Amino acid sequence: MRIIKTQINLMVRYTIKDEQINTKIATYYFLFLGGGSLVSWNAILNSLDYFSHKFPTHSVTFNFPVAVYLAQFLSSLVVTKLSDRLPLNMRIIGTFTVISVVLAILPVEAALLKETEIGFMILMGLLFILGTCNNICMSSLTGLSSQLPGQYSAYIFLGTSLLGLSLSLLRELSSYLFSGSQGSNISVLFFFGVAAVYIIGCIILQTVFVRSEFYRHYLLNEKMEMIDSDHEASLLSETDGGYVEEELPKNFATFFKVFGEVKFTTLLLILSCIQLFAVFPGVILKKPMPGVEDDSKVVLVNLVFNVAQTFGKLIGKYRKYYTVGSVFAVVMLRFAVIAVILLQAITTKVPIVNTVWFGFVTTGLYGLIHGFVIVALTVLGPERVSLEKKEVVGHVAVFGINIGVLIGTFTALPFKNITPDALDIFESS
């Protein structure tokens, strides 16, 4: 029988003082790789105008998310089993390598096969690959951070926002630097090239982190020590005061068992992501903004959203200021913001609500709430289970996010044909 020591390693971890270990490498690691796990999708979000011009007969704003989010959902079902088969290094470096290659291909493929059905289908296939790699990487990182203090889970999601913000600024800069008839193509090629280089940097940081003192003390000490006989286990219990238990299998049964233990926080994650993706980016971008060109509108909306979301995630880092109940209340209040966003998209006759500045205010508020809720629930989940289940809680959290994102994306599809005068037409009839 395979048996495993847990109590003694747990004691080792908590007898080491924080000041004895340099935690900066972990902070940088989760920040940079958190951003890297979604760099491809952030790059695409900031270039929707480019792909829309290449494939004008397709609703890129609504179709692209379907491919990515469906891939993320399906890969969530196998990521726990995958973590049992492939070591962390192989999962992280392997997925980042694929992401960097696909990022370099995407804008070139769109330029060469523009306005063709085969070109669009290839593009959707590449997006499916990106979604799969994004999810494996994010789930691996979240599973890792769930075994550590909550601040490191917060750093992952803070990294996604900071990266999204940086890419929005970079996209605007590249559009300014490369103007003219071919400026858009050159700008996007430059933009995606920089994103691919960032991924290569994440690969290098991964190799550094697994050799760091932090990783050895806080994570290798958590690795369960395998003992091959009941006699040795009995001696361990008698001499060291530790206890033994069977190894926790990493399979579907374990995944859904852990899901049951954290079902409330996971269901809130699902609901929060449904709320977000039902209206972002599609419905929010439907709002008329007189004086703002379409290219700038996409960039500015993403910029405002990411700035606000970053502040929300910073708030979520401070665990002592919220509870499960307060987070639940925030999620419920968010429905009022959704109502305002929908109103902005279907009528132009409501004072204040239809001004450009108010559109940015509601976008920012939406991002602020989402950033806080995602981090808070990801921090709260691991607190509800024992040590050996914490990694799986990280997988469950990302699974919940993916379900919410997928449902939210399909919820958004009925809104793709709404127009700013939809309510006015209804009233006149």
Cα 372 to chain center, whole Å? 13
Spatial distance between the Cα atoms of 372 and 374, rounded to a whole number of angstroms: 6
pLDDT surpassing 70 at residue 154:
yes
Which tokens belong to 93? Answer: 């470096």
Mean pLDDT across the stretch 337-351?
A: 76
C-beta separation of 345 from 420 below 8 A: yes
Which CATH superfamily does the domain covering 23-211+248-428 fall into? MFS general substrate transporter like domains (1.20.1250.20)
Spatial distance between the Cα atoms of 43 and 103, rounded to a whole number of angstroms: 9
Amino acid 183: pLDDT: 54
Q: 78-135 pLDDT, tens per residue?
A: 888 888 888 888 899 999 999 989 988 998 898 888 888 999 999 999 999 999 999 9
Cα 261 to chain center, whole Å? 22
User: What pTM was estimated for this model as a whole?
Assistant: 0.74
Amino acid 294: pLDDT: 64
Over the chain, what is the mean pLDDT?
79
Spatial distance between the Cα atoms of 227 and 229, rounded to a whole number of angstroms: 6
Nearest to 242 by CA among 223, 220, 225: 225
pLDDT surpassing 70 at residue 420:
no
Mean pLDDT across the stretch 9-13?
A: 40
* CB neighbours of residue 231 within 10 Å: 9
Q: Is the peptide bond before 87 cis (omega within 30 degrees of 0)?
A: no
Which of 92-101, 102-111, 233-242, 368-377 is predicted with the least confidence, judged by mean pLDDT? 233-242
Amino acid 4: pLDDT: 39
Q: Is 381 exposed, middle or buried (0-12, 13-18, 19+ CB in 10 A)?
A: buried
* Residue that wins the pLDDT comparison between 100 and 237: 100
281 CB-near residues (< 8 Å, 6+ apart): 45, 48, 61, 298, 301, 302
Cα 289 to chain center, whole Å? 28
Which tokens belong to 324? Answer: 């499960």
Spatial distance between the Cα atoms of 25 and 238, rounded to a whole number of angstroms: 38
C-beta separation of 300 from 131 below 8 A: no
C-beta separation of 422 from 346 below 8 A: yes
